Structure formats: structure tokens, C-alpha cells
Amino acid sequence: MNIHYSILHISDLHKGENNNFDHLFASLCNDADLYDRDIPKPEIIVVSGDLAEGANGDGAEEKIIKQYEEVECFLNRLVKHFLKGDKSRIIIVPGNHDIYRGATIRSMEAIPEDLREEAKGRYLNGDPNYRWSWNDFCFYFINNMAEYVSRFKFFIEFYNRFYDGIRTIDDCDMLNLVIDLPQYNIAFATFNSCYRIDHLNQIGAINTNAIAQSQPQLSKAYKYGRFIVGVWHHNISGIPTQTNYLDPRILHSLMDFHIQLGLYGHQHHTEALYQYHDIFKQGQMTLISSGCLYGRGKTMPEGTHCQYNILEIEQSDEKVNVTLHVREDETGWDIPSWGRKQINSKESYLMEFSLPKIDYIKILSDNIELAKEGKDYKNAIRNLISIRDKETSANKFIDEFLKELSNDEIYNIKFVPQTISQKISILGACLEARDWSSFDKIVDEVKKDGIKNLNIDLLIEEAEKIR
């Protein structure tokens, strides 16, 4: 398997009221026509948090709802332009700006002065339900957990509406979706690094229960030979006056569960780090942050403009080469003007990763069960396509499972047929979709190979009548 594609990695969209997503969209589309070194246009999009700006005070809920409506429209346009409308290839996680702080304020009560010492003891001992406020020098207690948990309600509503059944979440604090894209031999492990974050606690954290529960999915992706990429929002270090970053010890667990590359945002400037290295297991995780895509003002580090990343992926059977290209707004004007940004005096940053050994027999048996027991023929076919060059018996089951799908479902899988049965299935799908370019390409291959088949002849005859 030799694949060459790119990932659009954006973060921290939280636009101001005076900014315009139409301007941003136009600039990104235009920049994609100007990439250097023949970088392929993105086929996957990663959004690592802070989709909304957030709001406080009167009318906050209405403002936040409007912000998500605007960002939803923007992301829909990105998906249509870069991914041909395929939302399975856009990866989204929340950030700290996606929390509704009105809910966290309502969920807490101030601790009376006579209970201050007891509260102090509980707070210092790490009780997760206690908070300290420097503004009024007072301890607070979360007395309404249902209200506290609802702090992500606007993000969840956006997320489930945007994906419309492709994927869903109901508890952001337990976010641990592993999104497998077998056609690219890549899997994304998505986490929420805003666990227990609220208006009084800014320290990034990922729920360890969420990580532990992702283990079976990550183990499966590893045995399938996938390149596993983690996605969350927070960076893992900061200046002495900050506490709003992740405890770096979390990286050990993520690396232990086969995640080789981590993508995040939050710090508003691009960075590439070989941050975590385990000398005993010889493991290593590379971390890449994306800059702020559209924020302005005080949130931007001094001397930094808006940024985003292009990750160029070149993958063979045994390794993955990832080249980081950083794009930076050169003007700071209403319509961004993107150019190449150097990292550590380099125009691009090349990283190499080894792929795990594939367990072909497990993939075969898993997907036979997925199709015959779970009736999920489409994903079974996608997974089997990824191994058929090494495990030729996979084609037999692909032929069988294609018979269970509609022409529309077959057309949307998008794969190169290898058997007569697969050619017939795709010709039928292209005929129904009136995709004459793809139809004629397969017909030319059939004629070149000297294949004689009655079903193919009938499909060609039908196509001639329709045209």
C-alpha cells in the first residue's frame, strides 16, 4: 500500500463578532491552490477544539447558539470543498472555549466561612467537587452535578447535528471515539482534554476512564496495522504563570495504547515536539500543535499571526513519513493571506513512523463477523479492501458482501475493483450515478484485459441507451 495525501489540521476557530467565515473559507480554498512542492490537497480534516468563542452574561446562550450555527456552516463548506461532502473524514474535538460557563456558575455554591477549613482540606486533598476562586478568595462546591455536566450541551448539540448519525456523543467528559479510516490505513483516537474544566478550573485533563475504555478499539486498530493519531485540545507545557495545560504524564498511557502522533491546539502557535520518550519500551510520541486559525487580539502570542497546518502523509507497507507544513497569515487583515511559515529555521519538518505488523487473519475473521452478524457490509468491505493485496482470500468476501449493498452504497465506497464480480458491481453503481468517466475507465480496462462477460455487455448496452 503506497498512499500520498494530506491532512488539514486547524484549531481555535473562535472568531470574533467582526470577523467573517466567508473571508476565511475563501482564503483557505485559495491557499490550497498555492501549496508548495506539489503537496496534495487535503483528504482529511482535523479540528482540535475551540470551535466557538463562548459568551457570558445576558443573552449568552443565544450568542453561543449563533456561534455554532456559523461554525457549522463554515465546516460544511470545508467538507464539501475538500472532502466532497464526506463527513466521516473530518475529526472534531471540543476545547475550553466550547464550555458554557453559565452552567458551571449555576452548578456551584460558595462555602460558608465556618466551613472554610474543612473545604480547604478537601480541596488540597484533591476532591474534584471543590474549587477555589482567587477573585473573591472563597471556596466553592459543585452541588448540582447535572447542571455542571451540561456545560458541553451546546457543543454536543452541534456535534450530533453536524454528523447527523455518522457519529454521536452524549457525554463529552467520556469522549473516546476511535475513528478508523481504512482507505488511508489511519485511525484517530479522539479525547476531550477539558475534563473538569470550568470557570474556576483551567487545568487541562483527559478522563483516565475514557482512555482506559478506548483500549479495545485502539488494540484492534493496532492489530490492523493502522497509523494511530491522537486528537485533543490542550498543549502539555506552559510558562510559569500558566496552569491551563495538560499533565504530561498522560502521554505515557496514550503512547502505551499505540498512539504515535498527537494533534492539538490551544497555545495558538504551531509547535512540533518529540516530547515523550520511554527508554525502557523504546517508545516515542510526536506532538504537533496547530496555531490559532482565526482568533485575534489578546489571545495571540506576541509576534504571532493566525496559523494552520498541512500534514503531508506518504505511507508504504512498513512506514509513514509525515511532513509538517505550516501556513501563516502574513497580513493580519480581514481576509487572511497565507504563506509558508518556518519552524526552527526549516521550511518543513519531516517525521518518520514505523507501522505495526498486520494480523491479516484477525482482520479477515473480524470483518466476516462484522458483515454476517452485524450486517455492516460497507465497513467490512472497506476493511477487507485494505488487506486484499496481502490476503487474496479477502476478495471472495468482498464479492459476497457487495451483493448486499445498494448501488448508491457501492458508489460511495470508492475503490478499485480487482475481480469480475467487483467490476460488475461498480459498473452498475456508476451507471445509476451517471458517472460516465468512472464507467468508461472500467470498461476500457475490461476490453484491454480481453474479458468476456454477459453481465458487463448488458451494462455497456444499457449505458449506451441512456447516453
Closest residue by Cα to residue 421 from 17, 429, 208, 42: 429
| The C-alpha cell that represents 458 in the structure block | 448488458
**CATH annotation of 3-103+147-354:** 3.60.21.10
Q: Which amino acid is at 296?
A: R
User: What does the pLDDT read at residue 32?
Assistant: 92
Chain-centre distance for alpha carbon 193: 14
User: What does the pLDDT read at residue 298?
Assistant: 57
Q: Quick: pLDDT tens for 63-119.
A: 999 999 999 999 999 999 999 999 999 999 999 999 999 999 999 999 999 999 999
Global pTM reads 0.86
User: What does the pLDDT read at residue 71?
Assistant: 96
Closest residue by Cα to residue 397 from 424, 369, 427: 369
Query: What is the rounded radius of gyration, in angstroms, for the C-alpha atoms of the chain?
Result: 25
Low-confidence ranges of the chain (pLDDT < 50): none
Q: Which amino acid is at 321?
A: N
User: What does the pLDDT read at residue 347?
Assistant: 75
Q: Quick: pLDDT tens for 356-413.
A: 988 898 889 999 999 999 999 999 999 999 889 888 899 999 999 999 999 999 998 8
How far apart are alpha carbons 288 and 276 in whole angstroms? 12
Residue where the block lists cell 468491505 = 381
Q: Cβ neighbours of residue 134 under 8 Å, at least 6 residues apart?
A: none
User: What does the pLDDT read at residue 467?
Assistant: 86
Phi, psi for residue 257 in degrees, rounded to 5:
-95, 25
How far apart are alpha carbons 401 and 368 in whole angstroms? 9
Q: For the chain, what's the residue count?
A: 467
Q: Cβ neighbours of residue 234 under 8 Å, at least 6 residues apart?
A: 96, 193, 194, 204, 244, 245, 246, 264, 266
Residue where the block lists cell 453561543 = 64
Beta bridge pairs of residue 277: 284
Q: Enumerate long-range contacts of 245-250, CB under 8 Å, 24 or more apart.
A: 245/203, 245/204, 246/193, 246/204, 246/205, 246/206, 247/204, 247/205, 248/275, 248/276, 250/205, 250/206, 250/208, 250/211
Q: Cβ neighbours of residue 192 under 8 Å, at least 6 residues apart?
A: 93, 94, 172, 173, 175, 206, 207, 210, 232, 233
User: What does the pLDDT read at residue 279?
Assistant: 57
Phi, psi for residue 351 in degrees, rounded to 5:
-130, 145
Beta bridge pairs of residue 315: 3, 320
